[in-house]
């Protein structure tokens, strides 16, 4: 049986989650149609992460589903799935870790995994839509560019596709880890004055930023 306090929080959780899902959708729309992805991509996971941080993973998943439905109506299901792969899953993960007070190391490590899976998920979705394996296409193009560069430099090395694909995966993982770290830092700076702060940065980062003074 639900307590009166829980029942009284349900309308607020519903309204906030719907508002934050709309904010995430508008951010994705602006980044796509206005070409603001380089600027907004650091903020795109934060609305749904905040919903998860405030009300728990259940509401985070509900917000993610709402965002997908909104984007599917406005931009089509593929764009909705693209947001989920690149930002939505990471947002729910971050919000859950913020709610539990998980340290930055574990959050970044798991965010790296989720971001890498999301990247290849998006590649798979685009491959299905275009009828072509984009992963093979991208690695073949990278191989040709590298072969041309090696030939011009006079280096007697033949690039292997397997090594190039492995290096690409590593680069995607490193990029996902850096992205998760920066998003965590941006969220900490934005939400520090709210009633739902995120875990503080590690001691070495606070020292480097001069926050321990």
User: pLDDT tens-digit profile of 145-174?
Assistant: 777 776 777 666 666 777 777 878 888 899
Q: Contact, 169 vs 113, CB < 8 A?
A: no
What is the share, in percent, of the chain residues with pLDDT greater than 70? Answer: 91
Q: Which of 61, 87, 79 is nearest to 179 (CA)?
A: 87
Q: Region 32-48: what's the mean pLDDT? A: 86
pLDDT of amino acid 69: 94
Is 80 exceeded by the pLDDT of residue 211? no
Q: Contact, 12 vs 58, CB < 8 A?
A: no
Could you tell me the pTM of the whole model? Answer: 0.85
> What is the C-alpha to C-alpha distance for residues 34 and 30, in angstroms, rounded to an integer?
5
Is 70 exceeded by the pLDDT of residue 208? yes
What is the share, in percent, of the chain residues with pLDDT greater than 90? Answer: 43
pLDDT of amino acid 7: 56
> What is the C-alpha to C-alpha distance for residues 100 and 149, in angstroms, rounded to an integer?
48
The values of phi and psi at residue 212, to 5°, are: -90, 0
Model confidence band, residue 1 (pLDDT cutoffs 50, 70, 90): very low
- Give tens-digit pLDDT for 118-151: 998 888 888 887 787 777 777 777 777 777 776 7
Q: Write the burial class of residue 70 (CB in 10 Å: 0-12 exposed, 13-18 middle, 19+ buried).
A: buried
Is 60 exceeded by the pLDDT of residue 8? no
- Give tens-digit pLDDT for 74-97: 988 888 998 999 999 999 999 999
Provide the mean pLDDT of the chain.
84
The token duo for 39 is 């600027």
pLDDT of amino acid 34: 82
> What is the C-alpha to C-alpha distance for residues 95 and 59, in angstroms, rounded to an integer?
10
> What is the C-alpha to C-alpha distance for residues 4 and 153, in angstroms, rounded to an integer?
73
Is 80 exceeded by the pLDDT of residue 53? yes
pLDDT of amino acid 152: 72
Q: Contact, 47 vs 92, CB < 8 A?
A: no
pLDDT of amino acid 189: 85
pLDDT of amino acid 156: 64
Most confident range, picked from 39-48, 107-116, 166-175, 197-206: 107-116
The token duo for 9 is 């929080």
> What is the C-alpha to C-alpha distance for residues 114 and 95, in angstroms, rounded to an integer?
13
């Amino acid at each position: 049986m639900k307590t009166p306090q829980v029942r009284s929080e349900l309308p607020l959780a519903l309204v906030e989650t719907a508002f934050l899902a709309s904010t995430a959708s508008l951010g994705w729309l602006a980044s796509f149609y206005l070409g603001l992805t380089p600027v907004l991509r650091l903020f795109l996971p934060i609305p749904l992460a905040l919903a998860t941080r405030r009300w728990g993973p259940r509401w985070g998943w509900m917000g993610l589903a709402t965002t997908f439905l909104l984007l599917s109506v406005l931009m089509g299901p593929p764009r909705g799935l693209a947001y989920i792969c690149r930002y939505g899953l990471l947002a729910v993960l971050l919000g859950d870790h913020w709610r539990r007070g998980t340290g930055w190391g574990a959050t970044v490590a798991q965010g790296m995994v989720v971001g890498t899976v999301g990247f290849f998920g998006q590649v798979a979705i685009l491959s299905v839509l275009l009828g072509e394996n984009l992963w093979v296409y991208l690695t073949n193009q990278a191989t040709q560019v590298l072969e041309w560069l090696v030939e011009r430099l006079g280096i007697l090395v033949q690039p292997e596709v397997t090594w190039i694909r492995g290096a690409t995966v590593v680069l995607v993982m490193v990029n996902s880890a850096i992205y998760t770290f920066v998003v965590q830092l941006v969220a900490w700076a934005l939400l520090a004055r709210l009633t739902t702060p995120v875990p503080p940065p590690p001691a070495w980062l606070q020292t480097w930023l001069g926050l321990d003074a």
